[in-house]
Amino acid sequence: MSSAESQRRIVILVIGLVILFAPALFVVATLEFLILTGDLALSQISLVDFLELYLIDLVLFVVIGYGVYRLTFWLIENPLPDALDTLADETDPGDEGTTDTDAVRDDGL
């Protein structure tokens, strides 16, 4: 097994563990906050309620992660139009021959 292949497997394993455990951490943080504020007692939470919260968080985490993934690749494939890049390079027609440093106003300070 090559070094690149083992690194790829480690990266896939880490991504899988993050996908698996990040929603659980969100559920625990939510429950801890509700317990500290006095809105919830641990005796009120059943295992089914906890699993339901976990599955909802898992689905939301995966959907948001996939959305960020797709948005990133869409932005890579469809960069901003060139017209937006040229706006910063253009100067006003009345300022021909001047540069940005010439146009700086001196307030006498």
The model's pLDDT over 61-70, given as tens digits with 9 standing for 90+, comes to 888 889 888 9
What pLDDT is attached to residue 23? 81
Residue 49 lies in a domain: yes
Residue 42 lies in a domain: yes
* Mean pLDDT of the residues in the chain: 76
Residue 92 lies in a domain: no
Q: Residue 102 pLDDT > 60, yes or no?
A: no
Residue 98 lies in a domain: no
The number of domains in the chain is 1
Residue 95 lies in a domain: no
Residue 15 lies in a domain: yes
Confidence of residue 2 (pLDDT cuts 50, 70, 90): confident
User: What residue numbers bound the domain in which 32 lies?
Assistant: 3-78
What kind and span of H or E run contains 14? Answer: helix 3-36
Q: Residue 60 pLDDT > 80, yes or no?
A: yes
Cα dist. 100→84, 85, 88, 91, 108 in Å? 19, 17, 11, 9, 18
